[in-house]
A and B are shown apart, each in its own frame.
Chain A
Amino acid sequence: MTAAPARADSAVELPTAVTRRSSLDLVLRARELGIVLALAALVAVTAISNPRFLSGQSIRDILLGTAILAVLAVGQAVVVITRNIDLSVGSVLGLSAFTVGTLLRDNPGLPVVVALLIGAAVGGACGAVNGVLVRYGNVPALVVTLGTLYVVRGITYFWAGGQQINADELPAGFLDFGNATFLGIPYLVLIALLVLVITGVVLRNYRLGRELYAMGSSPQAARLAGISVGRRTIGAFGVSGALAGLAGVLFAARFGTIDAAAGTGYELNVVAAVVVGGVAVFGGSGSVWGAALGALLLTTIGSSLAVLEINQFWQQAIVGGLILLAIGADRLVAARVAASLKKRGSHVS
């Protein structure tokens, strides 16, 4: 790369710095805006064809569905931001759901908070294993988590041995937690929001979070900047695992029926939500807000198709198309932004 020749228009450009900054922000935020617009269009079309789509019950159902996917997507976003990927989340969700289900069946008195913590702990342990293998084994995340996807699911099947935990075996308090609301908002949604806000704030406003972005943006520069890349990698996988574990508890509370197959194939939806939400697969950019919006969009599409009586089979094709669209659009936007940023180099004042 070489320097651009000196520009004659520098004097003209400087005074407009403020407006340019806001327009730049707009470009960068366009990604999330795009999802919101798509979402709005989708809801509008569906609601026009069937107004009951906007009924309280329907919205609640969508939000409940989103809650679980969003928690997973937030965890996945953290890992993807560090230029890694975690394909084991579906299996971890299953293991956690079954662990918590079994515990609650055997100890009906267990408080919900403890169940949540146990689920997160189980998931966190799985995530830490992923992280250690990625960091110290020097094995790419894709391979490690593909392997643990198999292993964790296998362990769950071994343990479950074909048994299913039914709603009537779970304590009523726990099932209530899956459906009850606080100020009209379901607890599951509140938990998802809490996770989203905390992770979002940490990633945006704490040194730790910024270091994760830095690692993903340029691993080499991160090492030169003295960031302990290894510890952060393990941490990111730990968070993704813990959130998958938490999602497992939410899953158990919402569906009431848990078997060893819980969450099979979720990883695809989660990765889709993250990618659609504008988190770049090569790390360093995107936000958990986008990932959560992606989760909301995917869930809403599923519900809309049912309401619009469009063949459910289209759903997966649409998800696939959305992924391609999202990465294609990201590439385009990136090229645009790069071009506009290049034009605006610095100038001696």
Chain B
Amino acid sequence: MSLLLGFAYGLAAVGLIAGGAVIGVWWERKVAGRIQLRLGPQQLGPAGVFQMLADVPKLLFKEDIVPYGADRPTFRYAPMLVFAPIAASVAVVPFWAGWAPLDSVVGVAFFLAVPSVAVLGMLLSAWASHNTLSTIGGMRAAAQMVSYEVPRTLAVLSVVVLAGSLQPTEITGAWRWWWVPLTAVGFLVYLIASVAEMNRGPFDLPEAESELVAGYFADYSGFRWAIFMMAEYGSMIAAALFGTALFLGGPAWFAGVGGLIAYVGVACVIITAIMWAKWTFPRMRQDHLMTFCWTVLTPLALVQLLVAGAVAVWL
């Protein structure tokens, strides 16, 4: 029974992420377009909303190339290894007040730990491609993702400390409005670290278009490449939802459907902000990225944690 339920959850998560990615890609193209003084997709549907309905089947129908010299099985299944953890991480997002698909007592730890497995998939895909540019991209991705785990975890910990729980539903339950000013720095750190985790601009070094063409997935075509894209958008959706829930109290505002709508709406605003940043700022360099992580973000997160801890103790 639980297996069946898990399967249903899995399907739902994939559906959510796939659907979210489809809408997300369209939205990103529109946002980028407007920032760049142009229109973005226009032809299919109002304002081109159905553009992705053409893009996805096209990618499905594309030839599935495995390059000569690639490690075939690894090459084929590495995208799954990138996508699956991110899809799984959605399971602990508290969509409803007091309810999450997987209401684990260590939900926060789950959310922070599981997507990190994706780095393995990236490394594997980079290595399997047998391509120098991919390899460099994979190495960059690994270094970046592992490093940014630290400030992200520390930032989330401040909320955990305040709530005194690792269970996301409990944290949202314990959320009070004054957490927002108190954990604002932590939220910022969390967002920046999450953007770096999902390899998006201005931290998109692993796939830096102007340097590495497309980084670790340079050799993937068709649907396998689409999986990478879905993973990227999925992790953006998951991070936005989770961040909204933990730091802003997402589902705790209103009860019922209104709460869900408000929660998802705020998450969408955050996603838009992430996209906006990508199209506004230049890309960072690897060493700056690392320096930024260890000398700015981590200390900030630590300070935030201390403050949150102090407040928690004082209470």
Partners in one complex: no
Which residues on B are within 8 Å of A, measured CB to CB? none
